Amino acid sequence: MERALITGVAGFIGSHLAAELLSLGWAVTGLDVRSPVSDPVAGENLAELIGDPRFQFVAGDVRGGDLAMVCEGVRAVFHLAGLPGVRRSWGDRFGDYLACNVLGTQRLLEACVATDVPRLVFASSSSVYGPGTGKPSKESDLPLPLSPYGVSKLAAERLCLAYANQRGAATSGRGTGNRGTCRRTRRPGGCSPLKTGPARPDGGCGYSSALTPCASSWTRPAPGTSWPGTPASTRRPASWSLMRTGNHAGW
C-alpha cells in the first residue's frame, strides 16, 4: 500500500484530500499544528479519518521538528500547510509568512530530498496573479502578486521548481516529466460557506493554505453529494482538483 503525506491535513482541503486518498486505497500521514483533540475545527474536519487504521495524524509544524521522519516511506507529498491571509501579511508579520510559507516549504523539500520522495504537489494561491482581469486565470498568466502573502506563495512555488530541476533530483516537479506540480488554489466559485481561516495566536504553521470551514451552521456534505446551493456537476472541492493534478501515469 502506497503512502502519502499531507501537510495542513486538518484544514478543509487537506481533510477532504485525505478522505479521497483513503478511498483510493492509499495510506495517509497527516501533519498539522492543530490537534483534533484541542481544536474544534480540526476535530470536525478529521472526525471521519481518525478511526481509519490507514490514517496517521502527526502533530507538527513545518517550521521545526524532524520532517524527514514523516517523509520516510512516502510516495507522494501534498504540501498544503501555510500561513494564509492577504491583509495580515503586511507590516511586521511578514517574517511569520516567510518562516512558514517559504522556509517551511524549503525544510519540507530538504526532507523530501533526504528520503527520496519521488513526487510533491504544492498548493499555491491565486494571490500570485495579483488583481486579475475578471476572467478565469490561466497557469500561463504572468504572476504579479500585490501582497506580501502572494509574494511568499510565489517564492515557495519557485523553490519547489528549483529543487525539482536539480540534476539528478529524486523529487520531481512540473518542469521535469510532469510528475508533480504547483497547484494554485482559490476559493471555488459559488462556494459561499467558505472563508480564509483565522491566524493562529501562536503563529503556528499548519493551515491548509487556501480554505477552512466558516460558520458552524454549515455542515460538510455527505460523500458524493453536492455542496450547498450548487449542482454536484459544477462544484468540486479543491482536493478533487489536486487529485486530478496528481493523476498522471505512474501514480
Confidence at residue 243, expressed as pLDDT on a 0 to 100 scale:
47
The domain total for the chain is 1
The CA distance from 153 to 222, in Å, is: 32
In a domain, 233, yes or no: yes
Confidence at residue 166, expressed as pLDDT on a 0 to 100 scale:
80
Q: Of 87, 238, 89, 88, which Cα lies nearest the Cα of 152?
A: 89
In a domain, 77, yes or no: yes
The domain in which residue 111 lies consists of 3-245
In a domain, 250, yes or no: no
pLDDT, mean over the chain: 74
In a domain, 251, yes or no: no
In degrees, rounded to 5, the angle at the alpha carbon of residue 123 between the alpha carbons of residues 147 and 4 is 155
| Region 14-36 average pLDDT | 95
Q: How many other C-beta atoms are found inside a 10 Å radius of the C-beta of residue 80?
A: 33
Please determine, for residue 224, whether its predicted confidence score (pLDDT) is greater than 50: no
pLDDT tens across 176-211, in order? 333 345 555 554 332 222 222 333 333 333 333 332
Q: CATH number of the domain at 55, please.
A: 3.40.50.720
In a domain, 106, yes or no: yes
pLDDT tens across 32-60, in order? 999 999 999 999 999 999 989 999 999 99
Provide the annotated active-site residues: 149
Confidence at residue 144, expressed as pLDDT on a 0 to 100 scale:
83
